[in-house]
Amino acid sequence: MSALGAQFDGHLVLIGLPGSGKSTIGRAVARELGREVFDFDIEITQRTGRSIPQIFADSGEGYFRKMEIELTEELASRSPAVAAPGGGWITNPGVVALLRPPGRLVHLRISPTSALHRLSRSRVVRPLLLGADPAATMEALWVARKDLYQQADIEVDVEVNDSQRVIDLIVALAHDLTGGLG
């Protein structure tokens, strides 16, 4: 626990492509800030007793997105946390407005190619990337979502910056009580 100084009074929400490091960075930032981490996919898995691929296969993506919206509504009434939603959370209309203000969004920026490369070392299955051409799918996700990700208050390039630098930049944003933007 290294940085329990005054913090802005809202959720810190990490957004970005699958593979950008939202869950890992989110855990580390939460630890440094002394906040809870709210990892959407973990919450959904625990609450349903089903894995994310199972939910997509049995109930469909629409059902999963509805759960994301419900969890966002719940999160909005909780004390300030570090939130790590899945990469497609931002495509749900209205979710950003549920958290911001006072929440702040951080885009963990990564190229689709690097994102896919990182995922090749992950044990977590991403149902949207199970098709024949995951590289094309990841590129399509980026094209469809980049404007949404760019609604973030700050963007941190996770390829240029090492993990500790990414964590430090986000922790600094939480301690900036002037609005933190720009």
Q: Please, which residue, 141 or 173, has the CB nearer to ligand S3P?
A: 141
In the shown chain, the binding pattern of residues 31 to 50 toward ligand S3P, with x for contact by CB under 6 A and - for none, equals ----------x---------
Please tell me whether residue 21 binds ligand S3P under the rule CB under 6 A.
no
**Dihedral (C-alpha) 59, 65, 70, 76: value to the nearest 10 degrees?**
160
Residue list 127-166, contact with ligand S3P (CB under 6 A): 127-128
Contacting residue, 11, 22, 104, 107, with ligand S3P by CB under 6 A: 22
Angle at which helices 22-33 and 163-175 pack, to 10 degrees?
50
Question: Is residue 99 involved in binding ligand S3P (CB under 6 A)?
Answer: no
Judged by CB under 6 A, does residue 112 bind ligand S3P? no
Find the largest Cα–Cα distance for the chain: 48
Binding residue count for ligand S3P, defined by CB under 6 A: 11
d(CA 154, CA 152): 5
- Residue 126, interface with ligand S3P (CB under 6 A)? yes
Peptide bond into 18 cis (omega under 30): no
Question: Which of 50, 9, 56, 16 lies closest to 33 in space, CA to CA?
Answer: 9
CB of 43 to ligand S3P, least distance (A): 11
Find out whether 98 and 10 touch, Cβ atoms under 8 Å. no
Instruction: Verify binding: residue 86, ligand S3P, rule CB under 6 A.
Output: yes
- Binding residues vs ligand S3P (CB under 6 A): 18, 22-23, 41, 52, 86-88, 126-128
